[in-house]
Structure 1
Amino acid sequence: MTQTLFKAYNEFLKKRYGRSASKETYENFIGYCRRGVMENGVKPILNPVNLYAFGCGISSAEAVDLLFEKAVADG
């Protein structure tokens, strides 16, 4: 399941953000979500947007904003 989820999240990240997450970042994010404490504005909720925020060092809100900006730019 973990490998399947990692692959699916990376497909989303590539398509929506043009980047992918390393296995190490993904594993660290899983641990972060298990702790369940929000840090630096990144929600500890397992989804690709929060994974992107975690990996880039931005807040979840900033990651959502980037997602919408790209969607608008792509038409």
Structure 2
Amino acid sequence: MAEAQLVADGAQPDHAYLTVTREPDGRYCVVYQHGGVSRRSYTSSLEQVIRQARRAGGIPINTDDGALRQRCVDESLTLL
């Protein structure tokens, strides 16, 4: 099984990353963050979240969602 890279707890990344939360209706809220800039989008697909991270150059993902965290580990994506 592949291992995701982890950034130390409390560390503030100085690069772009995605913050992903799960909405009550089951959709994922994906927020691209880089410095003071943020863009929000919604998707119902875990696959689309993974594709967004890869399209953006494999940027790290910050999430508490267990299914997404496991998928990041499986896909060798960086977790915050």
Q: Same fold (TM over 0.5)?
A: no
Query: Whose strand proportion is higher, 1 or 2?
Result: 2
Alignment TM-score, normalising by the size of structure 1: 0.27
Query: Whose helix proportion is higher, 1 or 2?
Result: 1
